[in-house]
């Protein structure tokens, strides 16, 4: 398996992947024109030819035959060209001693608090490929890349998780809130979000604080929850130390997780090591290894062993990285010690 930077030549396979993903992957819409434009920006981002406010990084996962089977990505600085909206869950207290009344009201505040954060996006791995830690590789490779090029990313990293919707794509949160201010169903709003109209729709939402008690019970129950299809992705970012701090998506109420970049486990524990080619041996564990190239980024997961400032890997691992012995690589264990007992989020 290999994670590499996406290229314009990946357009056809990414179009097919976007079509198969359906409505759950708004950042990878099944629009050839938009995907082609995004891939142009992606290539220029990896080449360092765009400002941080415009930088868009997309990675693809290749199988052993060189076929693209998954994606992940991140926006280097979200909301720097158009507003980035979230709801922050807060609390409003009403009280009267004379009347003997004291009430706490969970309240939604429309905010731009997460502006300029690096936003993880575009994580997709079809069901038939969800085994052997492929999900961890394509998800966590982003953190190793950010560790190497930290100056090009924000100090804060966020990820908006897909919220709850039913089998036909209806969102109770949208039906109870957004639909009243923008007369369309959730599927259409979701599509418009994917083709770049999220800020426009958000501008139509109410600016004043909104008591959650005005929403339906189903909508309240959806606040801060994650769609079952996104639970593996949630588990993987939680393994790295990202947490829910009360921000939710304005459309479906899905949880937004966040963490300082420097405190993400794969960033904090990554290290520069000299590549050594040999036999990792029985003491080997799974490592993420980055060739440290930006334009020709290549990241793999492989059995490896750290010894006296070197990382010992098998010859085929070095071949996938296109590196020779003695080259400095950035590496980190695929799974942190605190998560070593956890199963693969995508299952066996």
d(CA 41, CA 196) in angstroms, rounded, equals 14
Nearest alpha-carbon partner for 114 in 258, 210, 265: 258
Distance CA 191, CA 16 (A): 17
d(CA 225, CA 283): 39
Residue the block writes with tokens 């994917």: 194
Nearest to 49 by CA among 76, 78, 72: 76
Compute the distance between CA of residue 64 and CA of residue 144 in angstroms, rounded to an integer: 21
| Active-site residue, selected from the candidate residues 65, 105, 152, 227 | 227
Contact call for residues 8 and 36 (beta carbons, < 8 A): yes
Task: Map tokens 């923008």 to a residue.
Answer: 182
Q: Are strands 118-124 and 156-160 parallel, antiparallel or unpaired?
A: parallel
Active-site residue flag, 227 = yes
CA 117, chain centre distance (Å): 12
Residue 196 has what DSSP assignment? I
CA 308 from chain center: how many Å?
34
Nearest alpha-carbon partner for 256 in 266, 240, 242, 239: 242
**Torsional class of 161: left (φ above 0), alpha (ψ -120 to 50), beta (otherwise):** beta
- 331 strand-pairing partners: 271, 289
Map residue 27 onto helix, strand or coil.
coil
Catalytically active residues are: 227
């Amino acid at each position: 398996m290999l994670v590499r930077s996406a290229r314009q030549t990946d357009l056809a396979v990414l179009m097919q992947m976007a079509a198969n993903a359906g409505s759950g992957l708004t950042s990878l819409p099944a629009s050839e024109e938009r995907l082609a434009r995004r891939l142009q920006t992606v290539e220029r981002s990896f080449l360092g030819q765009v400002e941080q406010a415009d930088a868009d990084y997309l990675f693809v996962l290749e199988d052993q035959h060189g076929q693209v089977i998954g994606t992940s990505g991140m926006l280097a600085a979200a909301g720097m060209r158009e507003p980035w909206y979230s709801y922050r869950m807060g609390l409003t207290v009403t009280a009267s001693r004379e009347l003997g009344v004291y009430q706490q009201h969970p309240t939604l505040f429309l905010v731009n608090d997460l502006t300029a954060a690096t936003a993880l996006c575009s994580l997709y791995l079809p069901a038939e490929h969800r085994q052997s830690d492929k999900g961890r590789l394509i998800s966590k490779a982003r953190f190793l890349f950010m560790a190497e090029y930290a100056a090009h990313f924000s100090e804060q990293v966020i990820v908006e998780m897909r919220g709850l919707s039913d089998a036909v794509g209806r969102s109770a949160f949208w039906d109870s809130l957004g639909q009243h201010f923008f007369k369309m169903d959730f599927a259409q709003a979701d599509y418009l979000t994917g083709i770049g109209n999220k800020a426009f729709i958000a501008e139509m939402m109410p600016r004043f604080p909104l008591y959650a008690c005005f929403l339906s019970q189903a909508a309240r129950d959806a606040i801060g929850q994650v769609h079952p299809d996104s639970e593996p992705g949630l588990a993987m970012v939680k393994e790295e130390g990202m947490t829910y701090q009360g921000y939710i998506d304005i459309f479906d109420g899905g949880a937004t997780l966040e963490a300082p970049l420097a405190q993400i486990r794969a960033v904090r524990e990554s290290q520069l090591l000299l590549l050594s080619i040999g036999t990792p041996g029985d003491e080997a564990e799974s490592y993420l290894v980055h060739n440290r190239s930006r334009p020709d980024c290549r990241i793999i997961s492989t059995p490896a062993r750290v010894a006296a400032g070197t990382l010992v890997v098998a010859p085929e691992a070095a071949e996938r990285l296109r590196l020779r012995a003695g080259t400095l690589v950035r590496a980190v264990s695929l799974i942190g010690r605190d998560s070593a007992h956890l199963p693969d989020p995508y299952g066996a």
